[in-house]
Amino acid sequence: MNTMTTTLPDTHLARRAMIDSQLRTSGVNEEYVLARMIAVPREDFLPTDKAAQAYIDRAVMLGAKGEGAGHLAAPLFYGKLLLEAAPMPDDRVLVVGGGTDYLAVLLRPLVAELHQITAAEAVNASGTGAYSLIVIDGAIEQLPDTLAAQLTDEGRIVTGLVLRQVTRLATGRKVAGKVNLQPVEDLGIPVLHAFDAPKTWTFA
């Protein structure tokens, strides 16, 4: 009797190709970044009907485009974010998720403690979380004071930032109670609309 077997694609090879063609060619060569990104299968964080898109060089939206649609950002965004974050073994980290646990899973083995919240929870955050590192899985128009308050003095933050309708990777550090975000480079990053700045009206 003949039997049929189904051979599943080797996604380890897909991750290796992602590293060689998307990360290394863009200057992401640090071993800790590459090791985490080859260890974590991106398809595990996508619906079955979108799994084939896991290793394309752009974001995969989890639902209909618009406010509230989660995403898995492009591999290059996560590689650059991990590089700029430079996580340390004693870091206490807050991840603001973009709709999946992918970023949290990448970071968790590299730090002492990690907590994850949604974008909506981050906007309404209260108190002082005493995090040494905050990473945001998406681009924001503004950083709420309530989220900045979660950082310790000299704490770091890495996020996407929307400036003049262009998304950029940005970093900041809390100094004297203030956080100033500085753009690093232009990148395609999904926008987290929970962080949109209030709209202003202008009259001709």
Spatial strand order in the sheet of 166-175: 113-117, 92-96, 131-140, 151-163, 166-175, 178-186
* pLDDT greater than 60 at residue 167: yes
Instruction: State the pLDDT at residue 202.
Output: 53
Would you say domain 11-195 falls under CATH 3.40.50.150? yes
Start-to-end Cα distance in the chain: 80
Which SS3 state, helix, strand or coil, does residue 151 take?
strand
Closest C-alpha among 118, 150, 148, 158 to residue 131: 150
CB atoms within 10 A of CB 122: 23
Instruction: State the pLDDT at residue 68.
Output: 63
Which SS3 state, helix, strand or coil, does residue 137 take?
strand
Residue extents of the structural domains in the chain: 11-195
Residues 97, 118: Cα–Cα separation, whole Å: 5
> Do the bridges between strand 131-140 and strand 151-163 make them parallel or antiparallel, or are there none, so unpaired?
parallel
pLDDT digits (tens, 9 = 90+) for 137-158: 999 999 999 999 999 999 999 9
| Burial class (CB within 10 angstroms; exposed 0-12, middle 13-18, buried 19+) of 17 | exposed
- Beta bridge partners, 114, equal 93
> Phi-psi region for residue 134, left (φ > 0), alpha (ψ -120 to 50) or beta?
beta
pLDDT digits (tens, 9 = 90+) for 75-117: 999 999 999 999 999 999 999 999 999 999 999 999 999 999 9
| Burial class (CB within 10 angstroms; exposed 0-12, middle 13-18, buried 19+) of 13 | exposed
